[in-house]
């Protein structure tokens, strides 16, 4: 599933071809792609809207329109592309936005879990999300307060989008290894040095992901190179880059979790 760095990479690539363009109409081939409003209302309201800016909140792409906002969540397998009219579309291009310059903005989605929202304000969709880990206001102190307010294992807490937005399985495992913290460590047991280390590690992992254009870990997200930088993620049985111990994989809350039992002790 695309996480913050992969979504951010899409946002940066889509700005040049899309900002300033007007959506003339939309083709909806899989109506359940449209979460809000009804597919029929969506098709009516999107016509004639100009794309003013493209940003990101958590794992959502946020398009500010001349009236309202369009949000896209890629979920498991979403892919976004801009291509000239008439060129061959991927057969999974379920939602296609026609633009005023003989191009199309295509949302392809093999597994069909992705969703599209057209709302007055983005917060109608993103209102429950936790803070952005790369935002200037997201200080180590604020992070520490949030950790202390829960007594939950670190790994599932980092994946909880209401705790913090944008981190998924890859960047949680990478950040915990960088910080030398066991994924099952309880969030309210960290000392202030550990809090700071985890805060720095999350930001470092995410920034590295963005710098490498995200991670291409499946057929779907093909953009980036961050998979070549993985320290533990999907490296079960390989040596830890710090100490050489074999990387272990365990299941935590039905998610694969990769870690080094020597560098990330459970205490």
**3 in catalytic set:** yes
**Looking at 76, 242, 249, 255, which residue binds Zn ion (CB under 5 A)?**
242
Rounded to a whole number of angstroms, the minimum distance from the CB of residue 243 to Zn ion is 3
Instruction: Identify the CA nearest to 114 among candidates 204, 220, 12.
Output: 220
Question: Are residues 117 and 39 in contact, defined by beta-carbon separation less than 8 angstroms?
Answer: no
**133 in catalytic set:** no
Per CB under 5 A, which region of 78-86, 148-156, 186-194, 252-260 contacts Zn ion? 252-260
CA 161 distance to own-chain centroid: 10
* 247 lies in the binding site for Zn ion (CB under 5 A): no
* 255 lies in the binding site for Zn ion (CB under 5 A): no
Rounded to a whole number of angstroms, the minimum distance from the CB of residue 237 to Zn ion is 13
**2 in catalytic set:** yes
* 262 lies in the binding site for Zn ion (CB under 5 A): yes
Question: Are residues 255 and 155 in contact, defined by beta-carbon separation less than 8 angstroms?
Answer: yes
**Looking at 218, 243, 246, 265, which residue binds Zn ion (CB under 5 A)?**
243
Per CB under 5 A, which region of 6-14, 57-65, 119-127, 258-266 contacts Zn ion? 258-266
* 54 lies in the binding site for Zn ion (CB under 5 A): no
Cα separation, 98 vs 81, in Å, equals: 12
Q: Which residue has the tokens 């935002």?
A: 135
Q: Which of 57, 59, 115, 235 is catalytic?
A: 59
Residue closest to Zn ion, measured at CB: 240
Question: Please, which residues have CB within 8 angstroms of residue 51's CB and are 6 or more apart in sequence?
Answer: 18, 19, 20, 21, 22, 23, 63, 64, 65, 70
Question: Are residues 219 and 189 in contact, defined by beta-carbon separation less than 8 angstroms?
Answer: no
For the residues of 247-265, what is the DSSP string, one character each? PEEEEETTEEEEE-TTTS-
Residues forming the site for Zn ion (CB under 5 A): 240, 242-243, 245, 260, 262-263
**Which residues are identified as catalytic?**
2-3, 59, 255
């Amino acid at each position: 599933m695309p996480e913050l760095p992969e979504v951010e990479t899409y946002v940066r690539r889509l700005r040049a071809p899309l900002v300033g363009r007007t959506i003339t109409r939309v083709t909806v081939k899989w109506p359940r792609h449209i979460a809000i409003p009804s597919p029929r209302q969506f098709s009516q309201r999107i016509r004639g809207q100009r794309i003013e800016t493209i940003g990101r909140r958590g794992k959502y792409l946020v398009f500010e329109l001349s009236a309202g906002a369009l949000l896209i969540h890629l979920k498991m397998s979403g892919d976004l592309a801009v291509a000239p009219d008439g060129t061959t579309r991927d057969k999974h291009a379920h939602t296609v936005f026609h633009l005023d310059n003989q191009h199309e903005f295509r949302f392809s989605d093999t597994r069909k879990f992705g969703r599209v929202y057209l709302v007055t304000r983005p917060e109608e969709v993103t209102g429950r999300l936790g803070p952005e880990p790369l935002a200037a206001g997201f200080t180590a102190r604020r992070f520490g307060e949030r950790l202390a307010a829960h007594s939950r294992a670190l790994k599932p807490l980092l994946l909880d989008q209401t705790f913090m937005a944008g981190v998924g399985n890859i960047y949680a495992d990478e950040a915990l290894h960088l910080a030398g913290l066991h994924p099952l460590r309880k969030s309210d047991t960290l000392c202030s040095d550990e809090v700071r280390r985890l805060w720095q590690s999350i930001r470092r992992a995410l920034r590295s992901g963005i710098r490498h254009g995200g991670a291409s870990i499946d057929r779907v997200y093909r953009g980036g190179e961050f998979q070549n930088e993985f320290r533990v993620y999907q490296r079960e049985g390989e040596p830890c880059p710090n100490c050489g111990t074999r990387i272990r994989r365990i299941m935590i809350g039905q998610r694969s979790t990769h870690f080094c039992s020597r560098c990330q002790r459970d205490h």
